[in-house]
């Protein structure tokens, strides 16, 4: 595939008790639309990163909107001159974000969302904010946030132990 490729990414923490059905539906849909990338389906929700023609991705997001669980998922869009994925994967996982703690239910309770401008204002005003960089060691080598605390974890699964230190 040549020319501009549209990439979309999104996630939603929501109870998914029909992952087998969704896996089959998403495989067929993405094959029909000519999309490549990854869709993760876990009991706690969905995470996707897909690439293909803009019209095909529009079809995918319209399909999401037809299911009330996925309506209004914030989707990040970017563009590349090449197809970044080799194939389409729709996988069932035990967790969207692997931490190994069964009692954590992001669909039920999360912290408050802070808009980027408000967060920057907090930092600029010197409010007591601790930024924990929870990215893995490879991602940290690429770059980090100013004054962020490096938890020195190889994978996010190590986060629960690292936070105890």
Q: Is 49 contained in some domain? A: yes
Question: What gap in Å lies between CA 133 and CA 19, rounded to an integer?
Answer: 31
Structure tokens at 131: 């930024």
Q: Residue 163: phi, psi to the nearest 5?
A: -70, -20
Q: List pLDDT tens digits, range 109-125.
A: 677 888 999 999 998 99
DSSP 161: H
Q: Is 16 contained in some domain? A: yes
| Shared domain check, 88 and 10 | yes
Q: Is 149 contained in some domain? A: yes
How would DSSP label each residue in 5-51?
EEEEEEEEE---S-HHHHHHHHHHHHHHHT-EEEEEEETTEEEEEEE
Question: What gap in Å lies between CA 23 and CA 25, rounded to an integer?
Answer: 6
| Shared domain check, 121 and 88 | no
In this predicted structure, the answer to whether residue 91 has a pLDDT above a threshold of 50 is yes
Domain span at residue 147 reads 116-164
List CB contacts of 101: < 8 A, sequence separation 6 or more. 160
Q: List pLDDT tens digits, range 2-31.
A: 568 999 999 999 999 999 999 999 999 999
In this predicted structure, the answer to whether residue 106 has a pLDDT above a threshold of 50 is yes
In this predicted structure, the answer to whether residue 161 has a pLDDT above a threshold of 90 is no
Q: Is 123 contained in some domain? A: yes
Beta strands in 14-159 (DSSP E): 36-42, 45-52, 76-80, 88-92, 132-133, 149-150
Number of neighbours of residue 103 by Cβ within 10 angstroms = 4
Amino acid 149: pLDDT: 85
Q: List pLDDT tens digits, range 40-75.
A: 999 999 999 999 999 999 999 999 999 999 999 999
Mutual angle of helices 54-65 and 19-33, in 10-degree steps: 150
Question: What gap in Å lies between CA 39 and CA 19, rounded to an integer?
Answer: 11
| Inter-residue contact 121 to 45 (CB < 8 Å) | no
Confidence of residue 1 (pLDDT cuts 50, 70, 90): very low
Q: Is 107 contained in some domain? A: no
Amino acid 3: pLDDT: 62
Structure tokens at 9: 């990414």
């Amino acid at each position: 595939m040549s020319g501009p490729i549209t990439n979309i990414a999104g996630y939603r923490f929501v109870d998914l008790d029909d992952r087998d059905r969704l896996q089959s539906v998403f495989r067929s849909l993405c094959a029909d639309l000519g999309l490549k990338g990854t869709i993760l389906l876990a009991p706690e929700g969905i995470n996707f990163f897909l690439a293909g023609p803009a019209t095909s991705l529009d079809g995918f997001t319209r399909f999401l909107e037809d299911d009330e669980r996925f309506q209004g998922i914030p989707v990040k869009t970017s563009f590349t001159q090449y197809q970044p994925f080799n194939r389409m994967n729709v996988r069932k996982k035990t967790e969207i974000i692997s931490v190994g703690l069964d009692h954590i239910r992001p669909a039920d309770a999360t912290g408050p969302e802070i808009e980027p401008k408000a967060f920057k204002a907090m930092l600029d005003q010197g409010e007591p904010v601790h930024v924990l960089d929870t990215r893995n060691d490879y991602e940290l080598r690429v770059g980090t946030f100013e004054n962020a605390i490096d938890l020195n974890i190889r994978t996010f699964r190590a986060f629960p132990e690292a936070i105890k230190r």
